[in-house]
Structure 1
Amino acid sequence: MSANDTLQQAARWLALISSGEATPGQRQDYEQWAREHPREAAAIGQLTGQLQGLQAPGLGQLSSRQLAAVVDAADSRRRFLRAAGSGLSLALLGVLAGPQVLRALQPGEHWRTGTAERGHWRLADGSQLTLDACSSVRSPAVRCLELEQGQISLSIAAGELFKLDTAHGTLLAHQARLVMRREPEASRVSLLEGSANLLVRGQQHSLSAGQRAHFDANGLQSIDTGSSADEAWTRGLLRVENQPLEQVIGALQDYRLGVIQLDPRLAPRRVSGIYPLDDTDRSLALLSDSLGLRLQFFSRYWVRISPT
């Protein structure tokens, strides 16, 4: 199930529980769902106690059936926002998209993050892992991770050799701090602290703190000097230095529900700056001001970027 589907389910349960009209059977169904989705259930529990303070005119007059119909409608989030007031919907989304507490990740588990979501985990050996939005990892064994999609920050606790795999190569280290990103065609690792070895197509390459390596299925492509921009996303910032606008919009898309439609003529425009990942409206406005772009918002979930 996608993060968007889970968000829609959470919104539906929030509407039902808040209405005060849930039947005993519905409450049992909710308790089962809550056990399977503890983070979303915690957000619902946090918000249901705050509804009296939200400016949500009309919410109290809607029955549970009406609320469910609103949330289940084809354009569910927009209609729910109109019917119940912006406070309730945005509060739920804000809680779900906020920072996560550090949780244990056990060998054999598989974890992923959705749109506008960063995840924080403690591994069984004491290492600490942060997933960027729209990322996934698998932990086949102790001191072993596989990055399947997206980007991670990893602080490897001292100990036996730690193995970090992508489809394009393997990083080996006893103790280090790093950021790794996997794209469909290539991977990139920035070593922030410590030392490591990178194994690509049977060839081993040594990396030291401050170095960044680019590699793909054909082997090691380059080793250069890393940048503080490589880990800015862990602080909720997108820091870019002379990057194509297409890449910048791609990074913002991971933090925005819906579609950002970029005019192909603008794709190669070069961009430098710092943009907030957790406020994509502001980031788009900053890009528009600095590059002279035209933003057209057809809804909260569809924005078109074109030349002025």
Structure 2
Amino acid sequence: MGTSVSTRFSHSIDPKVLDQAAEWLMQLNASHVSDEDRRACARWQQASPEHARAWARAELLMNKLGGLPAELAMPVLDRPAQLDRAGRRKAVAKLAGLLAALPAAWLGWRLFDRQQWSADQRTAIGERREIRLADGTHVILNTASAMDVSYDAQRRLIRLRCGEIMIETATDTAAVRRPFYVETAEGRMEALGTRFSVRQEEGRTQLAVFESAVRIAPRKMPPSGFRIIQAGQKTGFSASAIEAEQISARDDEAWAHGMLLADRMRLAEFAAELGRYRSGVLHCDPAVADLLISGTFPLDDPERVLSMLVSTYPVSAVQRFSGYWVTLIPRA
């Protein structure tokens, strides 16, 4: 049986070695590469098993570069010799960060890229956007989100491809009232005159209701398996099951106001949430994963939030690859 990509590249590699691999990848794809450059790279690969593993990742990424966004592929492949020092360093940092995160970063990037750029409405990482639909419904798209809007004579429909949205439905102006639906990969929700948020996660949809109610109908459950979630409640569901309701809190809608509210939130969870609003990788060392965080933090400035963490809690933020990869560790 063959070895999967995730198995072959599951072991961590020293970030300094990945940085070197990224440098070599750029060098070998420069227009002025020489045979001596290639021999030097081969010697570097043979110098240690870790070098060889890093280069295996580089080759995997190289085989897939044709599908990378142009802003990364162009600096890396087309004219690296013409980049100034800062520009080259930035390109190497992004490339090294991708090597560090393979295969998850690659798969996530491709999935997000494919889902986002063909959508009717979308936001970039760290962006929030407010739109008003034809019937007056107000929608806020959170960071890295994409959705399609489909209105016809029978129904009003939003398909959430990825990310998170906040919806405040308007009274339908059509002669015959049309139901308002939101669809995700896991199923369909019907708004019962309401304000609510929907978040698409991997294999799971998260719903929080702030006004009125929402009816959930998972894709693989019978019609009788629907459930109505009332204002002040939240839940998650898969294609075949609905979780027990919980009480929603202010932090469930704080993102719509540009804030991250933490009330004794584990640092690991805090880092995962903050990481949605910044480019790159934000990692939490297991030694500080259970540190409890409280406070109100501005989502529009993730780097400021990291500074606030470091100044308030016994942690340090170690940056690699020009800040693309940040690890929260215990303060020395």
Fold shared by both chains (TM-score > 0.5): yes
Does the alignment pair 1:251 with 2:273?
yes
280-289 vs 164-173, which moves further: 280-289
Give yes or no for contact 1:158–1:174 (8 Å, CA) kept in 2: no
Q: C-alpha separation between the residues in 2 aligned to 1:208 and 1:270?
A: 30
Give the structure-2-normalised TM-score. 0.59
Alignment identity in percent?
27
Q: C-alpha separation between the residues in 2 aligned to 1:117 and 1:75?
A: 25
Aligned with residue 276 of structure 1, among 298, 304, 307: 298
Local SS of the residue matching 1:220:
coil
Q: C-alpha separation between the residues in 2 aligned to 1:227 and 1:242?
A: 13
Give the direction of change, closer, same or farther, for the CA distance of 1:119–1:225 in structure 2 (3 Å limit). Answer: same
Q: In the alignment, which residue of structure 2 is the partner of 1:42?
A: none
Give yes or no for contact 2:297–2:305 (8 Å, CA) kept in 1: yes
Q: C-alpha separation between the residues in 2 aligned to 1:136 and 1:151?
A: 8
Q: In the alignment, which residue of structure 2 is the partner of 1:24?
A: none
- 5 Å matches for 1:1-308? 69-70=83-84, 73-76=87-90, 110-142=120-152, 143-159=156-172, 160-200=178-218, 201-202=221-222, 203-298=225-320, 299-308=322-331
Q: C-alpha separation between the residues in 2 aligned to 1:113 and 1:145?
A: 15
Q: C-alpha separation between the residues in 1 aligned to 2:139 and 2:85?
A: 34
Provide structure 2 residue ranges, at least 5 long, that are not aligned to the other structure. Answer: 1-67, 74-78, 94-117, 173-177
Give yes or no for contact 2:185–2:203 (8 Å, CA) kept in 1: no
CA drift at 1:290: 3.6
Bigger strand fraction: 1
Give yes or no for contact 1:71–1:77 (8 Å, CA) kept in 2: no
- The number of residue pairs the alignment matches comes to 223
Give the direction of change, closer, same or farther, for the CA distance of 1:296–1:135 in structure 2 (3 Å limit). Answer: same
Q: In the alignment, which residue of structure 2 is the partner of 1:18?
A: none
CA drift at 1:194: 2.0
Query: Which letter does structure 2 place at the counterpart of 1:137?
Result: M
Q: Which has the larger radius of gyration?
A: 2
Q: C-alpha separation between the residues in 1 aligned to 2:284 and 2:131?
A: 34
CA drift at 1:303: 2.5
Q: C-alpha separation between the residues in 1 aligned to 2:158 and 2:267?
A: 32
CA drift at 1:205: 1.1
Give the structure-1-normalised TM-score. 0.63
Query: Which letter does structure 2 place at the counterpart of 1:183?
Result: E
Give yes or no for contact 1:294–1:306 (8 Å, CA) kept in 2: yes
**CA RMSD of superposed structures (Å):** 3.2
CA drift at 1:73: 3.9
Give per-residue Cα distances to partners, 1:112-153, cap 9 Å, x unaligned.
Answer: 211111122222222111111111112244510111211111
Local SS of the residue matching 1:257:
coil
Give per-residue Cα distances to partners, 1:83-105, cap 9 Å, x unaligned.
Answer: xxxxxxxxxxxxxxxxxxxxxxx
Local SS of the residue matching 1:222:
coil
Give per-residue Cα distances to partners, 1:151-189, cap 9 Å, x unaligned.
Answer: 111111122210111122221124211111121032211
CA drift at 1:207: 2.2
Query: Which letter does structure 1 place at the counterpart of 2:305?
Result: S
Local SS of the residue matching 1:158:
coil
Q: C-alpha separation between the residues in 2 aligned to 1:133 and 1:7?
A: 19
Query: Which letter does structure 2 place at the counterpart of 1:176?
Result: T
CA drift at 1:236: 0.9
Query: Which letter does structure 1 place at the counterpart of 2:160?
Result: L
Give yes or no for contact 2:315–2:328 (8 Å, CA) kept in 1: yes
Give yes or no for contact 2:119–2:146 (8 Å, CA) kept in 1: no
Query: Which letter does structure 2 place at the counterpart of 1:296?
Result: V
- Greater relative contact order, per chain length (Cα 8 Å cut-off, separation 6+): 2
